[in-house]
Structure 1
């Protein structure tokens, strides 16, 4: 298992009630499952609309089960942003 940090931004930060928290997981899917367990409710709904960066690289349309997490890595949770 890899250990790292999940950082929440904007609406995800508000819904989680924290700016960041640790993860212990092998894949992005496992890390997000744990987040949903710790923060049921609004954050679960927000996550459906989010995009993710893993160690600075966009996840894009890759299946979360295939995105491996590194020891000491960072997952950024980015809700859609408004503006122009």
Structure 2
């Protein structure tokens, strides 16, 4: 099973209570399910509004169960940003 790092930004970081943590998952869906289990409550609500980068590439509208994670990879969790 691939292992890597999940990085949380802004509201996702505040809701998770950590800036980053390891993942052990084959897909983005599996990594996010594990994160939801570790951080119930507000984090789950924030996660619904987030976008994701996998090793710098946007996930976009792809189904999270189809997004494969690599060994040593990075998942960036990006909530909507305000301002301009």
Shorter-chain TM-score: which interval?
A: over 0.9
1:21 corresponding residue in structure 2: 21
May I ask how many residue pairs the two structures share in their alignment? 84
Moved over 2 A (4+): none
2:51 corresponding residue in structure 1: 51
Q: What displacement does 1:74 show?
A: 0.1
1:30-76 CA distance string (max 9 Å, x none): 00000000000000000000000000000000000000000000000
Normalised by the length of structure 2, the TM-score is 1.00
Q: What displacement does 1:6 show?
A: 0.1
Normalised by the length of structure 1, the TM-score is 1.00
> Where in structure 2 are there 5+ consecutive unaligned residues?
none
Q: What displacement does 1:11 show?
A: 0.1
2:12 corresponding residue in structure 1: 12
Root-mean-square deviation over aligned CA pairs: 0.2
> Where in structure 1 are there 5+ consecutive unaligned residues?
none
2:80 corresponding residue in structure 1: 80
